[in-house]
A and B are shown apart, each in its own frame.
Chain A
Amino acid sequence: MNIQNPPKDGTKDLEFEELESVVIRFAGDSGDGMQLTGTQFMASTALAGHGLSTFPDFPAEIRAPAGTTFGVSAFQIKFGSGRILTAGDEPDVLVAMNPAALKVNLDVLREGGLVLTDTGSFTARNLQKAGFEENPLKDDTLAKFQVIELDVTTFTLEAVKEFDLTKKDAIRCKNMWTLGLMLWMFSRDRIPIIDWLKAKFENVPQIANANVAALNAGHAFGETAELSIELKRYTIPTAQTEPGLYRTVTGGEALAWGLLAGAKLANLSIMFGSYPITPASPLLHILSRLKEFDVTTFQAEDEIAAICSAIGASFAGALGITSSSGPGIALKTEAMGLAITAELPLVIINSQRGGPSTGLPTKTEQSDLYQAMYGRNGDAPMPLICSHSPGDCFYTAIEAVRLATKFMTPVMLLTDGYITNAAEPWKLPDLDALEPFPVSFATTGDAEKRDHVPFQRDKHTLARTWAKPGTPGLEHRIGGLEKDIKTGNISYSASNHQKMTDLRMGKVAGIVDYIPKQEISLGKSDGPLVIVGWGSTFGPINQATRYATNEGLAVSHIQIRHLNPFPKNLGAILKGFDKVLVPEMNKGQLASVLRDKYLLDVLPMSKVSGQPFKVGEIVHKIKELLEG
């Protein structure tokens, strides 16, 4: 295995992140526990002090028929020294637990990479289900790779024999045997994994012990085995990162904690209304457990009820939050308009997935930007922000709460399936250092001084006054019909509607004075080419820019966080470059929004295959644009 893989020409074999890094892909049946194996390997990687990035890639079916290619579940991890921003383009190591896993992942494996297979699963029936006519271990299918064939099934059954498990339960320990071998290969400590197994199977010690035995057996195998291909151990240098307390975090966790932190800074309790949908549900699950916090979760009967309950809660003086993915967001559309016209704070989270319609529930995409920006009846402006990595979700969640409460408006926060499920090492934030933005509700005293208090506005932000039920003297009625600009009563006046429409537009546009200026992530502030990213394309764009810069190319990277309104100086920055390239996982949505806004010839770069961009793909494009 060639870990130090110098860059070559073309895109296929580029390895341009920190030289000392490894990409491993665990693949097996959805029932093989690959996500679990990957997550535990990630934990041990983090504890060993490496930088890392992961990519869980699983099928839409919960238990697709065993052995089939569409039932293959994979977990990819890249780790090494330095900050790792993507899960890697091409795996160096593929762990394939069955023929189907081998079949679907062969294409992505680096030439010369290592394939570890469980020969025990290469039965005639499994080969046929995977669509192999011949056993690929016997012909030249794998000629380009180094192959280690191990009968993991038999080794595992042997290792857990003494625990008297059913055959099914015994075979399920296969993933721990494999993990044990991988831990050995990368000189990792087994203790944290053993502790975790014991805690997880606390009530079934027999299963816990069997899994531990399988893990140890896999590890011991590494120590003692003599194989035709030398099974090496690798040491990867640890990452040099900022001092502090670290943990691994998924986007779902960081979002949940960010919302809690944001609500606390606003001095509000949360009412979270949601309906189960892939890939947004992790947030509902995480918040539902946290009942000891000021958060009430409500699993509504549908997406519409979910957002409507959140709007009701905001009307009553809590912070309403709802979360979903594209199809569910579509259902919430009418209610978003209500929140916009009623001018109530609301946070809407969209974990985007492949579309249209049901689309690709478990595959990542960024194709809901138009929907977020324009997808409502009437002139219905709404602030939009996006997260660029799992850990970043913490900060964007706080920002969404800040904007929603300061401007009395719904705010949409865009993430995607990749960010929600992927994990990265994360330096724990200093909560005490976050600046509070407490909400002040109107009081009876205000009502004694002035009329129509709930419809009075802050002179600067144009935000309406928040008056909550239960406050004497502030009784008022609000709704979806157009409101008189002064009293809030129903108004059908044409000139009033013009004023109210202008006001709603002006309020959202005015947010520009309250958000940070656009910064340049990498490179100079002018030049021949800038690559503009939003959301989870951050990692590949940043790495590609770094790589190209090292090669002597003049390219800069800008990552946009505030999508509506855009930062004040964005247009000026973009105009300082000859070419603007926007790689995005859709057919060019941000590119056309930027063209529209700044009259620039923005070049789109599109990928909608359900997989994140590869660094190599972007480097290739940079070269094409700069070298012609």
Chain B
Amino acid sequence: MNEQISPEKLTAKDFASDQEVRWCPGCGDYAILKCMQRTLPELGLRPENIVFVSGIGCSSRFPHYMATYGFHTIHGRAPAVATGIKLANPDLSVWVVTGDGDGLSIGGNHMLHVLRRNVDLNILLFNNEIYGLTKGQYSPTSRQGTKSPSSPYGSVEGAVSACRFALGAGARFVARAIDTDQKNMPDVFRRAHENKGASFVEIFQNCLVYNDQVFGEFADRSVAKEMQVHAEHGEPLIYGSDNDKGLIFNTKKMCIETATIGENGVTEKDILVHDETNLSLANMLVALEPPQMPVVVGIIYANPAATFEEQIFGQAEERKAIVGKGDLKAIMSAGRTWTVT
């Protein structure tokens, strides 16, 4: 149903609503919105078959700007609402837009369960490591020591890593993108859409008002080549301005290290080849953090399994095959009854 071919070719405009976009000028959300409006027509999707579901926060305004069906729900609960939508109509293409506070703090529980159940949803978590809408308090992904109105002397909490959380919860698809990276983001959206099951995408999103450049040390264009590894299935994990650096596996320490090809006897053959179906590798890749290590983006883990809805509806079909379609009269009068004359 989602894939039906449209007679006319749709464009980004067909996916943009008439509502004025109200993010702060220069917010990373704009780039993500544009990229989504541009990518959806290429996926062969029609607006009426798409639902964007969000919770509360800056990112959660997203559905209002899409000319699709949209539900701007309550704080943290978008995964639950989206699950209900899929259980009512599994043919819809359902996208959840959430943030680090919405998806990992107040809604962390729902995120855990929607991932382990493998509900067929595309979940985009805009991570800006701050609460934007409520004016800049530290969030669960804020690094320890973050100074904010609610942590004037620096936060003392350890941060949660979105992708490590997702893998721990049993996600079968985990990917990463950067707001400004318009070249690679469409492909991440495409793969998320194609994956049947819960597709978890962390998007590093710059909040220039409350947390400007928090990802600067790897997202900034000037350092991108040196600090980003673009994971591609079957390809060596090579990066660097001269494509001379790579990730290697230190078997003694059981960890990933960086190496320069041509130094210390390292050749291209020593560089790890990305296998997106390897959970152990995925766990190690998402744990790499700057400044010591580059950040891995792209499709980090994709190892599909049966979806939640498929199994739920499968059971119903099996049951119908055995007992036939439900007959209320029959079940009500089954068992011990008696007649009064």
Contact = CB atoms under 8 A, between A and B. Distances in A.
Nearest to A490: B64
B49 A470 contact: yes
A309 B69 contact: no
Nearest to A394: B332
Nearest to B46: A472
Nearest to A244: B340
Interface stretch (A129-137, A298-306, A350-358, A607-615): A298-306
A469 interface: yes
B222 interface: no
B51 A469 contact: yes
A108 interface: no
A320 B83 CA distance: 12
Interface in B299-341: 312-313, 315-316, 319-320, 323-326, 328-329, 331-333, 335-341
Contact of A245 (B19, B50, B67, B333): B333
Interface string B271-292: 0000000000000000000000
B87 A298 contact: yes
Contact of B328 (A264, A302, A474, A478): A264
Contact of B332 (A242, A320, A428): A428
B158 interface: no
A293 interface: yes
B250 to A, nearest CB: 39
Given A261-B328, A291-B316, A301-B109, A477 B89 contact: no
Contacts of B331: 257, 290
B81 interface: yes
Pick from B73, B87, B320, B331 the residue with the most CB of A within 10 Å: B87
B43 interface: no
B91 A470 contact: yes
Contacts of A474: 48
A247 interface: yes
Interface in B62-91: 63-64, 66-74, 77, 79-85, 87-89, 91
B38 interface: no
A243 interface: yes
Contact of A478 (B71, B88, B336, B341): B71
A469 B90 CA distance: 11
A489 B19 contact: yes
Q: Contact size class for A?
A: 35 or more
A427 B1 CA distance: 45
A271 interface: yes
Interface string A306-342: 1011111111111010000000000000110110001
B80 A304 contact: yes
B72 A479 contact: yes
B151 interface: no
A310 B338 contact: no
Interface in B1-35: 1, 17, 19
Contact of B81 (A241, A243, A312): A312
Nearest to A240: B340
A232 interface: no
Contacts of B110: 301, 304-305, 308
A49 B74 CA distance: 53
Given A312-B80, A428-B333, A296 B48 contact: no
A82 to B, nearest CB: 13
Interface in B155-195: none
Contacts of A46: 336, 338
Nearest to B82: A312
A337 B332 CA distance: 35
A43 B337 CA distance: 9
B339 A246 contact: yes
A473 interface: yes
Contacts of B68: 475
B233 interface: no
B336 A320 contact: no
Contacts of B19: 477, 489-490
A445 B33 CA distance: 30
Contacts of B85: 312-313, 315-316, 469
Contact of A49 (B46, B323, B338): B338
A444 to B, nearest CB: 9
A290 B84 CA distance: 18
Contacts of B66: 477
B113 interface: yes
A248 to B, nearest CB: 7
A192 interface: yes
Contacts of B77: 304-305, 308, 335
Interface in A465-488: 468-481
Nearest to A306: B80
A318 B315 CA distance: 19
A443 to B, nearest CB: 12
B84 A273 contact: yes
A46 B335 CA distance: 12
A312 B285 CA distance: 35
Nearest to B329: A431
Given A310-B84, A469-B49, A477 B70 contact: yes
A316 B121 CA distance: 15
Contacts of B87: 271, 296, 298, 309, 312-313, 318
B97 interface: no
A245 B339 contact: yes
B70 A476 contact: yes
Nearest to A322: B84
A172 to B, nearest CB: 24
B49 A480 contact: no
B53 interface: yes
Contact of A477 (B49, B71, B312): B71
Interface string B103-132: 000000110110000000000000000000
21 contacts: A46-B336, A241-B340, A247-B335, A260-B328, A264-B328, A292-B324, A296-B88, A300-B113, A308-B77, A309-B83, A312-B53, A312-B84, A312-B85, A312-B88, A313-B85, A314-B84, A320-B88, A469-B69, A470-B91, A472-B47, A476-B69
- Nearest 4 CB-CB pairings of A with B: A312-B84, A479-B72, A293-B326, A309-B84
Given A312-B87, A479-B63, 16 more contacts: A244-B340, A245-B333, A245-B339, A264-B328, A273-B84, A293-B326, A301-B110, A305-B79, A309-B87, A312-B82, A316-B88, A316-B92, A469-B49, A469-B92, A475-B47, A477-B66
